[in-house]
Structure 1
């Protein structure tokens, strides 16, 4: 064909040949030969077929072939050819805007049309900065924009560019007289909604004529983008009043808003409209309708619509998976998930979220491993689900791996992902990493500050938690109800009764937050732990809302601390009315009876449990070792290393007993002998986890344990002693808070831990004219002028307690010593005899002057306790019997 065409002579024949090639079979059957026609000797009179040929190009390579001939024939600056080349680059997905720019640069004359074409191309290419650059160059060349310039320019704006240039572009719109143009309004609404300035977008909308449905679509979509779904619905109602015909785009946006609002009544009306007016079906519209019913819990309707769809995509399947997840049918959701022909990261994340909601965290990890095997790259939403799982399991190693993965793959760390990382670190007991993440976050929201406050408070850094709260206020961030839960919790564990009551009152007066039942639970806990049980009960009786199990549980927990049987029975009775099958209530009541030696009450309570078939929730502890989470249940012997674990535990207990450790069996609610009680204590899940960790880890390895129940007093003390003996850092998270054990200092940082022997520095001029009790100690600690010494001695056993109060002025002119379980004379005389100071004047001062170390004191105390261990078990009154001055 080429040979025939090349033999033709004359302009008319050559023009005929191009037309034949372009319009005839040549274009479809011999595309390469058609483009080879460009190498014929052409004259300027054949522009029309050549321009058409440019428009029919299928690739940049074909365009370059024709352009090369145009250049050879001296038509390089022909405006028609240049316009066609630029139009192809700007409008075609395969177009190259760099090539268009080079052609644009050599054009001798450039009208507003070609400038607009360039701007449109950069918008298509998502290069708004280049579009703005062309626009500015256009103004510098004294070219006035027309009514197409701004829609093309603004359409390509990203959020960042919109924030930076949105308002200035609006000013240009007004300057050039396009403030009433509907197309420009549409573009401005898009820009303002993109950067979150919905009020500005609504202002533009209200100034428009509202005759074009595109304006309505833009505004409704803008409200959806900013999650103002109620406003979207209002706008749709206003649209109905004006009797405007909605398009499929309108319906999709409205249905999406109704899905978020779970407004099935309006949704049914919109769905009926689609049926009545036979709106053309599309995959996007069908997916929106299915999501409407799925998000409202109508899975039978959603499933019927899904099964009737002729075409389904990954969004269709994911909608069904999410729908079953939302109604708690996770296994059904998994069935449809497994049937999906194709999955994306949204599908995987939806399934993981379902497992997270059901607390099936092991399934989350298994699914994540499957996702990795499928080579699906997780996004920031997937990472949030995985980090939430790590937080609940206390799996710090996996959490650290996820954080490294985020950094390595440069996954966008938005505020939600940053909050998840902070929460993971705190719930794994790594306060330092949480603080580091907080300082690195470029932007924070109220949830960030709240996570910090709650995390610090639960990890024993109550003062820092309150400091963080005040820093939050200085940052002009408004606290919410959850924030105040963290603040009140911090006050509770510091014994700051007055401050806590003040914060409680400030919720409504300063921030307009009405206390809910959880806040009242915190207040009851604050008063109860501080020993104000009557005051806590009065708060419950005066509550404006009905107290729930949280409130009564706080009172019952305080009764356990202070061994108030009468109040405990009141709280337990109310709790059992709310939760008649709760084994935890019966167990706690049994513990209180056991501690107070109310054996008849204990036996009766256990008989009731047996008759009603109520069983105690078994203690369960999780520990992560080399990336694997191991689970231990109280008395568990199913672990492959069970034999070694029990052998190691027996070895540990023997060594601790030799050093003076006396098991605290006061919380064992079984009416059995002491030896059986000790055996019961030694089967506690956290002790098994500690023994497992010591067997399988190197020296210096931090042991992190997560327990489902409150750690008992004996396990707390054993963990403290093991931390000191093996120079290990132990972090145990129970159902209420963290307990950090670091060498000689166990910083559980709660009032209960005060009952463990410690050295407390007291402000000068403190009078001890009255007998010391735990209330005195708590009051002293709450002042924050007194603080537990880092040299808190590792006393063996819970009883008796020795608390040395040293005056902080450095003179040691006053030392108050109290011993519980012994008379004052027995304690003082025996201690001085062992120290060789018996009968000497000023013996306490002499002891300090001789330079005895605290560790020496501990040794003698341990020896003394060992001698009197049997006496101690019989006499364990919690209040100090007396106080004396040297």
Structure 2
């Protein structure tokens, strides 16, 4: 910074770089304008960079940029980099063309690195080729950073042969050069090609190994991911998170908890991403003691409980049967997001506390949160579980007429379940005819269950035939129909349904349950004689 200021830099620049909100940044901006520092390139660029990165306000950053009378390459690069790293990288190319038309400012290696990165994000091959020609013309074609970005751009666009050619011609390639192709293979799901390149690499860093783990995880090859994970000479928190995520996506929640324990033994400090995944696993398998341990860890390390972490804690306590604790976490969370509200409404729904769920929903609207599809699934489910027919009809209408949310299969399923509980089978069937997707076995099965509960054999037989048309191997249709006949004492029909199941070679999927004993989760199948 001393290269830009002959004396110690003005304190306002430190204040600018530490700004975390638009209001603070506007104060800094006003002071810089008042003291004429705005005309100094470094001060202006720091203002733009902070606006773009710290406060995530690209529009404000751009408004500052447009008021600089003669921006130099440093200021251009600051703005181009901000756009290249944003959800709208096309504006980086717009600024690049503006820079070329300026005829005074000359792009340098930093400019080309950011512009090529923008082309990679857009998968803009033609634009990337033009930029490539330009940088060769101005003599920057051999710069290692620019070449690495070019390799990634071509690989990201699927032109792996060109990318590999650039790599092979590099006089001084580094591990980042190899990773540029490796990451593109992984992003495009070409895990076999990624593995071949990975095995060819003479040098690997932690990022290389993490790419391979993420690649295998993305295609569901969890065992291969674990094999790479176990081979890693050094692991960081990203490595552990990638593997934990893989197990979570594969519904291997017991493995999530086991791996988390190993992570603790390896003295790797978990981050919020780790904790959210582990809490989710605890909720899925009912591992309350481990969930409490994670909560205690959060409190001990004074980690802010908000956003995803608050949602995960509420969800874990709800699913583990501690709705009071879930409510305590929810009410103590000062910064809630829509997922936090959805989680507590879903928790109250699971516990059959429909009135309270609707109360929380009303509070959410008062606090200015706009409900989404997930919100209404939980609200309608709460009405169904608590038998709130009038309220459920009102919420279904509110969802469409006020909030403009088109019902999905999940919403229809909740309403069919609610109507079915009150024996309004005809109304439920009529509602189903308005569904956008007619082939929805799960909703038909819900109505079939209601037919069993209310002894409507004629409708049950018709729906069972419908389900078997959709899936001839659907065991639930036979089982539900058999139960309807049994409830009416029609034992010959029961035997006939079971005979058809045997003739088709269809077997009912066994139920399963889980229990946590001494911190270990055990799974039991119905009909299982013994457990290890």
Q: Normalization by structure 2: what TM-score?
A: 0.83
Partner of 1:433: 325
Partner of 2:387: 495
Partner of 1:376: 268
- Of 249, 256, 267 in structure 1, the residue corresponding to residue 157 of structure 2 is 267
1: distance between equivalents of 2:40 and 2:430? Answer: 67
Partner of 1:202: 62
Task: Note if 1:505 corresponds to 2:505.
Answer: no
Partner of 2:128: none
Task: Note if 1:340 corresponds to 2:220.
Answer: no
1: distance between equivalents of 2:472 and 2:284? Answer: 27
- Of 46, 67, 73 in structure 2, the residue corresponding to residue 187 of structure 1 is 46
The aligned runs of 1:273-352 (5 Å cut-off) are 283-284=175-176, 286-352=178-244
Q: For residue 523 of structure 2, give the secondary structure of its aligned residue in structure 1.
A: strand
2: distance between equivalents of 1:382 and 1:254? Answer: 32
- 1:167-224 superposed Cα distances (whole Å, 9 cap, x missing partner): 1111122223454655444322321231233331233344457975655654465467
2: distance between equivalents of 1:569 and 1:604? Answer: 13
1: distance between equivalents of 2:186 and 2:206? Answer: 15
Change (3 A) 1:284 1:174: farther
Partner of 1:394: 286
The aligned runs of 1:632-651 (5 Å cut-off) are 632-639=524-531
Q: For residue 215 of structure 2, give the secondary structure of its aligned residue in structure 1.
A: helix
- 1:422-457 superposed Cα distances (whole Å, 9 cap, x missing partner): 100001010111011112212010000010111111
2: distance between equivalents of 1:509 and 1:518? Answer: 18
- Of 238, 243, 247 in structure 1, the residue corresponding to residue 112 of structure 2 is 247
Q: CA RMSD in A?
A: 3.3
1:509 CA drift (Å) = 2.3
- Of 400, 403, 411 in structure 1, the residue corresponding to residue 295 of structure 2 is 403
2: distance between equivalents of 1:542 and 1:568? Answer: 20
Partner of 1:481: 373
- Of 91, 100, 103 in structure 2, the residue corresponding to residue 235 of structure 1 is 91
Change (3 A) 1:467 1:270: farther
1:401 CA drift (Å) = 1.1
Task: Note if 1:174 corresponds to 2:30.
Answer: no
- 1:841-872 superposed Cα distances (whole Å, 9 cap, x missing partner): xxxxxxxxxxxxxxxxxxxxxxxxxxxxxxxx
1:311 CA drift (Å) = 3.0
1: distance between equivalents of 2:444 and 2:29? Answer: 59
| Count of matched residue pairs | 493
- Of 580, 583, 586 in structure 1, the residue corresponding to residue 478 of structure 2 is 586
- Of 115, 124, 135 in structure 1, the residue corresponding to residue 8 of structure 2 is 115
Change (3 A) 1:293 1:182: farther
Q: For residue 114 of structure 1, give the secondary structure of its aligned residue in structure 2.
A: coil
- 1:222-268 superposed Cα distances (whole Å, 9 cap, x missing partner): 4677xx52x12x22443565566753355456646769xxx999634
Q: For residue 377 of structure 1, give the secondary structure of its aligned residue in structure 2.
A: coil
Change (3 A) 1:628 1:500: same
Given that residues 299 and 323 in structure 1 are in contact (C-alpha distance below 8 angstroms), is that contact kept between their aligned partners in structure 2? yes
Change (3 A) 1:332 1:620: same
- 1:502-546 superposed Cα distances (whole Å, 9 cap, x missing partner): 211222322222222221222222222221111111111122333
The aligned runs of 1:779-794 (5 Å cut-off) are none
The aligned runs of 1:390-469 (5 Å cut-off) are 390-469=282-361
2: distance between equivalents of 1:223 and 1:416? Answer: 27
Task: Note if 1:514 corresponds to 2:406.
Answer: yes
Given that residues 186 and 215 in structure 2 are in contact (C-alpha distance below 8 angstroms), is that contact kept between their aligned partners in structure 1? yes
- 1:126-169 superposed Cα distances (whole Å, 9 cap, x missing partner): xxxxxx4xx4xxxxxxxxxxxxxx4x764xx2464x55621111
The aligned runs of 1:636-785 (5 Å cut-off) are 636-639=528-531
2: distance between equivalents of 1:441 and 1:616? Answer: 44
Unaligned runs of 5+ in 2: 101-106, 125-152
Partner of 1:607: 499
Task: Note if 1:528 corresponds to 2:427.
Answer: no
Partner of 2:259: 367
Given that residues 425 and 451 in structure 2 are in contact (C-alpha distance below 8 angstroms), is that contact kept between their aligned partners in structure 1? yes
- 1:652-671 superposed Cα distances (whole Å, 9 cap, x missing partner): xxxxxxxxxxxxxxxxxxxx
- Of 420, 426, 434 in structure 2, the residue corresponding to residue 542 of structure 1 is 434
2: distance between equivalents of 1:359 and 1:172? Answer: 54
Q: For residue 8 of structure 2, give the secondary structure of its aligned residue in structure 1.
A: helix
1:547 CA drift (Å) = 4.2
Unaligned runs of 5+ in 1: 1-86, 92-110, 120-131, 136-149, 641-886
Task: Note if 1:598 corresponds to 2:490.
Answer: yes
Partner of 1:747: none
1: distance between equivalents of 2:65 and 2:445? Answer: 54
Given that residues 358 and 379 in structure 2 are in contact (C-alpha distance below 8 angstroms), is that contact kept between their aligned partners in structure 1? yes
Q: For residue 621 of structure 1, give the secondary structure of its aligned residue in structure 2.
A: strand
- 1:312-336 superposed Cα distances (whole Å, 9 cap, x missing partner): 2111211111111111111111121
Partner of 2:127: none
Given that residues 466 and 487 in structure 1 are in contact (C-alpha distance below 8 angstroms), is that contact kept between their aligned partners in structure 2? yes
Specify the structure having the higher radius of gyration (Cα). 1
Change (3 A) 1:542 1:461: same
